[in-house]
Amino acid sequence: MDVRPELLALILACAAVTAVPRVLPLVLLAKIALPRWLLAWLAYVPVAVLAALLAIEVLVVEGKPALSAANPSLLAIVPALATAAFTRSLIGTVMVGLGAYWLLL
Distance of closest approach, residue 32 Cβ to other proteins, in angstroms: 5
Report 43-62 residues binding other proteins (CB under 8 A).
43-60
Interaction of residue 70 with other proteins, rule CB under 8 A: no
Interaction of residue 75 with other proteins, rule CB under 8 A: no
| Angle between helical axes of 72-87 and 90-104 (0-180°, round to 10) | 150
Report 7-46 residues binding other proteins (CB under 8 A).
7-15, 17-19, 21-32, 34, 37, 39-46
Q: Name residue 65's beta-bridge partners.
A: 60
Distance of closest approach, residue 52 Cβ to other proteins, in angstroms: 4
d(CA 18, CA 53): 19
